[in-house]
Amino acid sequence: MSMREFDMAQSPGTALQPNATPREILVEFEYSLKSAVVLVSPFVDHVMRSINIFHVMSGIEVDIEGALREAVLNAIIHGNNEDPNKHVYVTIFCGVDGEVAMTIRDEGAGFDSRSVPDPTTPEHRMSTHGRGIYLMRALMDEVSFEEGGTVVCMRKSANSDSYRSQ
């Protein structure tokens, strides 16, 4: 498998603008990824290397990497049902102040994020559903689901320690 299996999007004007886009954008990355779980780790590694080239991380890179991995996996597995003909679209904004915002869009039918059970409650601790969403919310400062659940928008401030203080 080569890095060519995921491509940079060609039309920056079509990117979704997350609610939490940094005020001043330093760099913006757009990707289109085939719905194959085997591509997730090399894709996330590539994205994190790209972010690090243009963005001075301040200790939040582990949070961003974990949330991105969960969001892309959810989009491929639950959103696109691992359909090889569908794609996941990722846009990442790095702000001049160190903030990172991401949108992940799948081509699935969507879902109601409020209907996903809390995996920390006793009756759902053994459930395999909801852990990725829980983890994204724990790692990022803001997480929202839009367009019927086909788009997840996430934001992390450079000076955030929300995960470490929980």
The domain in which residue 29 lies consists of 3-156
Structure tokens at 82: 């691992």
Could you tell me if residue 164 is inside a domain? no
For the chain, the domain total comes to: 1
CB 21 within 8 Å of CB 45: no
Could you tell me if residue 161 is inside a domain? no
Structure tokens at 8: 């940079």
Could you tell me if residue 165 is inside a domain? no
Quote the pLDDT of residue 51: 86
pTM value is 0.80
Could you tell me if residue 166 is inside a domain? no
- Look up the CATH number of the domain holding residue 33: 3.30.565.10
Could you tell me if residue 162 is inside a domain? no
Quote the pLDDT of residue 118: 72
Closest CA to 74 of 17, 18, 9, 129: 129
Q: What is the phi/psi pair of residue 136, to 5°?
A: -60, -45
Could you tell me if residue 56 is inside a domain? yes
Give the pLDDT means over successive 10-residue stretches in the chain (166 positions).
44 43 79 96 94 73 95 96 97 88 96 75 65 90 94 88 43
Three-state DSSP class for 144?
A: strand
Could you tell me if residue 43 is inside a domain? yes
